[in-house]
Amino acid sequence: MFQKKISWLLPVALLSALLSALLTFYLYACSQWISYASHTGDENMHLSAGLIKLKYGDYTMGAYQPPLIQLMLALPSLRHATPITFDHPSWRVNNWHIFGDVILYEQFPRALTARLLTEARWMGCLLGLGVTAFTFLWSRSLCGSLGAALACGLLLLDPNFIANVCSARIDVGGVAFSLLALWSFFRLLHAPALKTWSMFCIAFSLALLSRAYAILLLPFFALCLAIGWPSIAANWQAAPQRAALRCYGLPLAAASFFILLMVVYQGELRPIMDHVPAEA
């Protein structure tokens, strides 16, 4: 009996030790990168856009991308006094990168700017942990715990991944929610039910509110349905909640997207404010 317990506990302990070592390395590498890496123009623009959207409800700046990740990056800034003025010419001509530099390096003290960027970068690191968690869960369902540990190791030891998650940009957030949407989509295919459908609707809505390219997941979903249709149809026929999915599927999808849309845009039905740029 004791030997059986040891044989079961040993792999779990080794896996836990390996994952702990990888996460420790990840957090150490993130802390070093955040402390010493130079600021980039994209960081200034996305952080400034998030600040304006959170504090003033104006979604004009950087409106070509959905605002969810910008809002998340700017969340820690709510505890700081950060008044912003909009009299600079770059605001009137929609030059968002220049206006982001103006906010952080002309209107704010340098110490406050450094603090805001550091906090926004740590939010990116948290999103990177989300990517790692989805990678582990999905890999474990396909390849077991050892395969999941290997996948997480390849991810967390990749310097390109570290560099991206430690920047206050929207790329990693888009990847995190797109990966969540993909994972929930395949869970829905294998086990059609109201729970998995609701999870997929929420995840895909978050992906659409994170990056514009998430819309490209739709043709990928269609391709997956076309390739695996015989087994997908069999899973659908065997689903105990098939009638409920037919009845409530579309209303659940619409309600999920509308509620999240209202939360992200702070309850405004017309989030992009009237902003006519002046002639350059």
pLDDT tens by residue, the chain, 280 residues = 545 555 566 677 787 888 888 899 999 999 998 888 777 768 888 999 999 988 888 888 888 888 999 999 999 888 887 788 888 888 888 888 899 889 888 888 888 888 999 999 999 999 999 999 889 988 988 888 888 889 999 999 999 999 889 888 888 889 999 999 999 999 898 888 888 999 999 999 999 999 988 999 999 999 988 998 888 888 888 888 778 888 888 888 899 888 888 888 877 655 544 443 333 3
CB 221 within 8 A of CB 209: no
- For residues 151 and 74, give the distance between their C-alpha atoms in angstroms, rounded to a whole number: 30
From residue 16, give the alpha-carbon distance in Å to each of 4, 12, 130, 136, 216: 19, 6, 18, 13, 36
Q: List the end-to-end C-alpha distance of the chain, in Å, as a whole number.
A: 80
